[in-house]
Chains A and B, each alone.
Chain A
Amino acid sequence: MRVRGELKQYMVYGRHTPSATESNPPIFKMNIFANDKCSAKSRFWYHLRSLKKIKKAHGEILMCKLVGEKKPTVVKTYGVWLRYVSRSGIHNMYREYRELTAAKAVTSCYRDMGARHRARPSSIQIIRVKQVEDDKVRRPNIKQFMKPNVRFPLPHRVNHKLYVPRFSTKRPQTKF
């Protein structure tokens, strides 16, 4: 599993291939965050074979569809439950993100895990992603941006201009 760019949300439906003993096997669906359809299906089998006794060799994908966000222009808080393998053991985690879509929340979760815990995407399993109601939000950093009158200055703004001489006779303006 690799996280290139922004992830997309897929809903994958699959089941064991019908046989003489079981003509109508149960269908399983899974919400998968992946780069493309191919890796979404691959991820589906990865999770399913650890949860149920079904492998890709004896199974079939019924549908794999892209899931769009209902309101992609509204800021929401997403809770992400995950399991990851660190250098010393396996941990379960709950993290919160303020984003416009669930896919963006999961993408920034992978980035955050990489930054804070040096966790690679291959060692992270997303268990559950859910929009959290305002009164159920736990993390103080997320809570402070939900207040009705959030206001803060942008104190020290360094203008990184490429293709401009590094040295100048004028002092840069960092506040405005």
Chain B
Amino acid sequence: MVKLDTYKLYDRVVEVGRVVFIAYGPDRGKLAVIVDIIDQNRALIDGPASGVVRKEIGYKAINLTRFKLPIQKGICTKALKKVWAREKMEEKWAGTAWAKKLDSRQKREAMSDFDRFKVLKAKQARTRLINEEFNKLKASADSSKTSKKSKKAKK
């Protein structure tokens, strides 16, 4: 019988040191770390760098990230802050597509009507440039095709 390792199917598991993104509640949008596991529904989290005080939270309110910090169970806040800085979690998180998407969404929300108009114009300009280039390539491709066809006809 093939022994299936269930945990290999998942790259993100609930464990001590797992960096989590808080999706609901007063600390929504902040990063924290699982410091201890309470039971099948809740964990103890701490986020000294992002201002999350040590508290229990349900797994439904958090999203697991792909990062894991090398920490011991029940590590104190002070030591956790050091590990967080040493592992450069802020930089690592900012580099993910997830963080970038959130960032761009925030920027879009903060835009005024005029800003949106500017984006519209910029997008139009970009499309125009792309279309010009595309049409040029298309034209050259078409001409080469027709020349090939004419060669075939001669044969």
Residues of A within 8 A of B (CB): 73-75, 98-100, 141-142, 145, 148-155, 157, 175-176
Contact = CB atoms under 8 A, between A and B. Distances in A.
B22 to A, nearest CB: 15
Interface in B7-56: 7, 9-10, 12-16, 36-40, 44, 54-56
Interface of B: 6-7, 9-10, 12-16, 36-40, 44, 54-56, 59-60, 63-64, 73-74
State the main secondary structure of chain A at its contact with B: loop
Contact of B15 (A73, A99, A150): A150
Contacts of A100: 38, 44, 56
Contacts, number: 55
Given A75-B38, A99-B38, A145-B39, A151 B7 contact: yes
A148 B37 CA distance: 10
Contacts of B16: 149-150
Contact of B38 (A98, A148, A175): A98
B38 A152 contact: no
Contacts of B63: 176
